[in-house]
Amino acid sequence: MTRSITILGATGSIGASTLDLIRRNRDLWQVEALTANCSAKELAKLAREFNAKIAVVGDESCLDELREALAGSDVEAAGGEAALCEAAARPADFTVAAIVGCAGLRPVMSAIERGGILALANKEALVSAGDVMTAAIRKHEVCLLPTDSEHNAIFQSLGANNLTDVSRITLTASGGPFRTWTQEQLEAATPEQAVAHPNWDMGAKISVDSATMMNKGLELIEAHYMFPVGLDRIQIVVHPQSVVHSMVEFRDRSTLAQLGPSDMRVPIASCLAWPHRMDTPLEPLNLAEIGELSFFEPDEERFPATRLARNALNSGNGAPAVLNAANEVAVAAFLAGQIGFTRIAAVAEEMLLRYSAQQPSTLEDVLAIDADVRIRTAEVLENYAVV
C-alpha cells in the first residue's frame, strides 16, 4: 500500500538518507511536501525527481530561485515560516521532521496538530519544548517514532515491553574525535579537528556537539521525554566503536541492545517500515572484523556538557531551552573562530547560571526564551577571546 510522506528538511543529511531509502522503494511512497531552508536548486531537483506536490523554502528570499528552478513542472513553490507550517499541516500519512534548530519548532507542532505518524529528528522539539510537545502529542494521538540512532535503538530494544519493567536505559556515545585528548589539547582544538568525527558523517554543528559531548547531553533530555522512566534510570557510557547504539536493562537484569552500522539509514529505515522491516543498501555487521567493543565512563571534568544537561533537567522551568540556545550560539562562535573549544560548554554553563526562565506553557513561551537567550549569549561572548 502506498503511503504519503512529507519531509521537513529534505536537503540535510537526514532528509538525504530518507530520500535514498524512498528512491529504492518508489512504489511504496507518494511524496507530499519537501522543505529546505534555502537550497533552492537542490530542493527543486528533489521535488521533480520524487514528484512532490509542493516544495517550500524557509528563507523567503530564496523563493524566486525555487520558482525558477521548478518552472514547467507541476510542483507548487512556496516560501517563509507560514508556508513551512502549512506544508507540515498538509494531509500525509508520515512526516519526517529534520529541520535543524528552533526553526523547526513551529512546523513540528503543525505536523503534530495534524496527527498521523511523526518520525522526529529535530532535537529542539523535545530539548527546548519537551513538556509542550509531549502534551500536544498526547492530545492529538500522534504516533511518535524516534529517528536519532540512540533513541531509535532504545525504541527497538524496548519492543513490546512495558516501561515499568525497565531498570535502566543506557545511551552510548562515541566520545567524538577528542575522547583521549588532554585538557591542554582541548583548549587548542580547531574547528577543522572538531568536525572530523571518527565514525559518523554529520553536519558541522552536530559534529561539534559530539566533540563536546553536548550532543549526548541533549539526547539525555530527549530520552527523558520519550521514555519517561525517571532521570536517575538513564545513563551514558562512552563506546568508541559506535556499534552498540543504546541498551535497555530490565528488572530481571536482562539487557537488550541494538547494534548496527554507523549510518543513519538504519534508524530511518526502522521508522519508515515500522512495525515491519525493510532492506537497506548497507553491508552487514562483521563483528569478527570489528574485533572488540569497549565501554568507558564519561569524563565530565573534560567534557561537562552531559552534567549541564542533567542539571538543566533537574532545574526544570525553561532551563533545557536555555542550554540549547546558548550552546547553538557558542558553537557558531567556535566555528567562526571567535572562541576556543572549551569555551563552548563554559558559555552554556554561564547562561544556565545567569538566566532564570519561567516554565513555558506554550510554544510561543519556548520561542521567546530561545530568542532572549541568544541575544544574551551573544553579549556574554563579547567577554571571551580566543586564546
120 and 45: one domain? yes
171 and 205: one domain? yes
Laid out side by side, the sheet with 54-57 consists of 76-79, 54-57, 29-36, 3-8, 94-97, 117-120, 143-146
- What's the pTM value of the predicted model, to 2 decimals? 0.93
User: Residue 12 carries which side chain, given as an amino acid letter?
Assistant: G
Query: So what's the pLDDT on residue 200?
Result: 66
All three cell numbers of 162, joined, read 512495558
Q: Is residue 322 part of a domain?
A: no
Residue with cell 529528528: 121
Q: Is residue 354 part of a domain?
A: no
pLDDT tens, position by position, for the chain (387 residues)? 899 999 999 999 999 999 999 999 999 999 999 999 999 999 999 999 999 999 999 999 999 999 999 999 999 999 999 999 999 999 999 999 999 888 899 999 999 999 999 999 988 899 999 999 999 999 999 999 999 999 999 999 999 999 999 999 999 999 999 999 999 999 999 999 999 877 666 678 889 999 999 999 999 999 999 999 999 999 999 999 999 999 999 999 999 999 999 999 999 999 999 999 999 999 999 999 999 999 999 999 999 999 999 999 999 889 999 999 999 999 999 999 999 999 999 999 999 999 988 899 999 999 999 999 999 999 999 876 554
168 and 304: one domain? yes
Cβ neighbours, 10 Å, residue 285: 12
Q: Is residue 119 part of a domain?
A: yes
Gap between the Cα atoms of 170 and 26, Å rounded: 36
Gap between the Cα atoms of 110 and 104, Å rounded: 10
Query: So what's the pLDDT on residue 246?
Result: 98
159 and 300: one domain? yes
Containing structural domain, residue 279: 151-315
User: Which pairing describes strands 255-259 and 117-120: parallel, antiparallel, or unpaired?
Assistant: unpaired
63 and 132: one domain? yes
Q: Is residue 374 part of a domain?
A: no
138 and 216: one domain? no
All three cell numbers of 298, joined, read 564519561
Q: What are the residues facing 298 on neighbouring strands?
A: none
The CATH number of whichever domain residue 100 belongs to comes to 3.40.50.720
Residue with cell 565512563: 297
Gap between the Cα atoms of 17 and 295, Å rounded: 28
Q: Is residue 330 part of a domain?
A: no
The tally of domains found in the chain comes to: 2
160 and 297: one domain? yes
In whole angstroms, what separates CA 170 from the centre of its chain? 18
Gap between the Cα atoms of 312 and 306, Å rounded: 10
168 and 230: one domain? yes
Q: Is residue 350 part of a domain?
A: no
The C-alpha angle 77, 80, 85, rounded to 5 degrees, equals 90
Q: Is residue 40 part of a domain?
A: yes
All three cell numbers of 224, joined, read 527523558
141 and 159: one domain? no
Last residue of a domain, one of 125, 146, 167: 146
Q: Is residue 182 part of a domain?
A: yes
The SS3 of residue 172 is strand
Question: CA–CA distance from 67 to each of 12, 54, 186, 239, 295 (Å)?
Answer: 20, 11, 46, 46, 51
Last residue of a domain, one of 80, 115, 146: 146
265 and 169: one domain? yes
Gap between the Cα atoms of 85 and 246, Å rounded: 33
45 and 88: one domain? yes
All three cell numbers of 137, joined, read 502529542
Residue with cell 529546505: 36
22, 5 Cβ separation under 8 angstroms: yes
296 and 160: one domain? yes
